[in-house]
Amino acid sequence: MAARHGHADVVKFLLDECKKTYQNDHDQKLGIKSTKLMLQMTNEAKDTALHEAVRYNHLDMAQLLTREDPSLPYDANTAGETPLYLAAERGYAKVLKEILGTCDSPADHGLYDRTALHVAIIRNDMGKYN
């Protein structure tokens, strides 16, 4: 909900709380694991917080989430959309650039076996991404 509504301060607080050692039996590795679990949690539609941030074009939220753990894969939701695909489909160039520039290996597939590149070409948005 915080990602959907652009409350980066709430998301940052929750992520920071996961990292605190008192929460995790004084084991920093558990704090990192808790943070990863939170970032990978999904709702009924299999949307992660990043899906929600992208859907509502919250660039600051996308930056916070992708930079927290660039190695996380963001898979498709039940509609078959990855966060990168959503950004391309909606023409959110800054969010798309953030995901491409930060994530180690962003998944790009979406509906009808299209990729984010397919959608950008169909939308004729290629100039926006330069």
How confident is the model over 85-130, as pLDDT tens digits? 999 999 999 999 999 999 988 877 777 777 777 777 777 755 555 5
pTM for this predicted structure: 0.83
Domain membership of residue 75 (yes or no) is yes
Domain membership of residue 1 (yes or no) is no
Q: Look at residue 4 and tell me whether its pLDDT is greater than 90.
A: yes
**Domain boundaries, position 120:** 8-129
Question: What's the total number of domains in the chain?
Answer: 1
Domain membership of residue 27 (yes or no) is yes
Beta bridge partner(s), residue 115: 109
CATH number of domain containing 19: 1.25.40.20
Q: Which tokens go with 91?
A: 């023409």
Burial of residue 58, with CB atoms counted within 10 A of its CB: 0-12 exposed, 13-18 middle, 19 or more buried: buried
pLDDT (0 to 100) of residue 85: 92
Domain membership of residue 96 (yes or no) is yes
Domain membership of residue 52 (yes or no) is yes
Domain membership of residue 3 (yes or no) is no
